[in-house]
Structure formats: structure tokens, C-alpha cells
Amino acid sequence: MSEAQLQIRGLRKVFSGARADVVALTGVDLDVARGEVITVIGPSGCGKSTLLKIIAGLEADYEGTVELDGLPVHGPGSSRAVVFQEHRLFPWLTVAQNIAGNQPLRKPAVRARVEELLRVVKLEGFATAYPKELSGGMAQRVAIARALLRDPEVLLLDEPFGALDAFTRSHMQDVLREIWRVRGTTMLFVTHDIDEALVLGDRVVVMSPRPGRIHEVLPVLLPPLRDRASAEFLELRAELVRVFGAIATGDEGEKAAA
Ligand code: ADP
Ligand code: MG
């Protein structure tokens, strides 16, 4: 039996179009260990969101297998939660109501859980605020709290900080690392940002487009608290820039075709 918590085998996803079919993913194999943080990076359109949606159970029509603790994933379930780039909060609900979702806030256990999550994402005192009163970073923290409500085994994040300014983004990365340190939640984190991939990931999965597949998996052998200015960090960064550059300019495609 494999030790992987999440096991992906032979994943292939084709979108049928009116004029042509799009092969969004092909030959994707990935094992994710319990408590591991995988960052997924790749050019736009390489199938990152499709991969996350399949794991989330939001995309049913595909080839291959996705197993969580040895059981095939069928449809959405509380074992997996997703955070999207836009916070997707309901504007007419308070922060606490957004986090609680369909669980009744009048129940003391639910209220206590929501308060705990507000502390986790450092938003104590904002329970009765409305989304329009929050900054982008705060709204994304509410979205993270909402995703953690049912204590998912795997947290899936699709460019969650992509719309935030650099300062807020770096703060949010710290918040997420702290959540991971305390809870040990397995995470798959999609990003466009090379630094973000290296700050958060235990391994970086680099994807190449058309058709989307895993090009390379780069282990990030750095201490848990990442120092962006360290020689080791900058060395890995240079390596990732090189890999990424080769994909973007299509050198790899030519190599593959040759
Ligand atoms: P990424 O998140 O890496 O930017 P996506 O997973 O969103 O990429 O998309 C991968 C490919 O699949 C793209 O070529 C995209 O146009 C196509 N695609 C994604 N979703 C659909 C859909 N619902 N219908 C048709 N094509 C889609
Ligand atoms: Mg995407």
C-alpha cells in the first residue's frame, strides 16, 4: 500500500469544443503525502485549475484515478475544500455567517468553531462585519476560514492571493504557513508566482501546457521558515526561473517533438 494520502494516476481531461477538442491534462501522476504542501506552477491554460477541480470533485468527466486515503474521489465532499482567486463570499451575509455556511450560528458549538477560525485567520472582532467592509486580504482570510470549517483533509487553493498587492500577499503567505504549522493540513496551492511557490511549497510541481502535464517536480529542501534572501533560496529560484523560462519559450516542446 502506498503511503500517499492523495494519489493521482494517469489523469487525462479533454474538453470537447465545437471546432476542436482541448486536452487540458494528460499523463498526470502525483503522490501527495499527509501534511505536505505542494505548490503547482505553470503558464496560463496549462490545466492547473482543471487539476484542482478534479481533486475537489467539481469535474467528473475524466480518465484516470484520484484516491484519497485509498478511496476513489467521487464528487465534492468535506474531505476537500477549495479557496479560489476571488473570495466568493456572499455580500448579504456577515463574516461569521459566510464562514458557518449552512451550519446554524445559533448553535454554541458552531459559534465557537467560527470564533476559533476567526482567531486562526487573525480576524477576531470581525464576526459581524460584511464583506464590503473588508480589504481584499481580509476577505481572502474569511474564505480560508470558511474552507477550514469542516476540517478538510486536503485544502485546495487556486491562486488565492493572485489579486492581492505584494505586501498583503507576503503577509497572507505567512498566515497560511502558520495555519499549516498548527494544523498540518495537506495543501495543493496553485500559483503563477515563482517566489510564492518556493516560500510555501515542500515540493514545486512545474506544469507545461498543451497538453497540460507535469514537467518537473522540484523538492524545496529549505528550512520551514523560508528566508527569501538566503543563498539557498536564490539558488532554487534561479533554477525555477530557468525551468519556467524553457517552458514559456517552448524549448521543451521542441525537445519533446524532436
Ligand atoms: P490554468 O488554470 O492552468 O490557467 P485551466 O485548467 O483553467 O488552466 O484550463 C486548461 C485548458 O482547458 C485551457 O486551454 C482552457 O481553455 C481549457 N478549459 C478549461 N475549462 C474549460 C471548459 N469548461 N470548457 C472548455 N475548455 C476549458
Ligand atoms: Mg487557473
Sheet of 154-158, strand order: 80-83, 154-158, 186-191, 37-41, 203-208, 213-219
The predicted-structure confidence for 229-242, as pLDDT tens digits, reads as follows 999 999 999 999 99
Q: Residue 140 — φ and ψ, nearest 5°?
A: -65, -30
Q: What is the pLDDT of residue 246?
A: 82
Q: How confident is the model at residue 251 (pLDDT cuts 50, 70, 90)?
A: low
What digits encode the pLDDT tens for the residues 35-45? 999 999 999 99
Which ligand lies nearest the alpha carbon of 211? 1
Q: From start to end of 61-181, where are the E strands?
A: 63-68, 71-72, 80-83, 154-158
User: In terms of pLDDT, which residue wins out, 79 or 1?
Assistant: 79
More confident of the two residues 194 and 224: 194
97 CA to middle of ligand 2, Å?
28
Specify the CATH number of the domain 4-79+152-257.
3.40.50.300
**104 touches 149 (CB < 8 A):** no
Assess whether the C-beta atom of 50 lies below 6 angstroms from ligand 1.
Answer: yes
191 pLDDT exceeds 60?
yes
Ligand 1 lined by 25 (C-beta under 6 Å) = no
Domain residue ranges of the chain, discontinuous segments joined by +: 4-79+152-257, 87-151
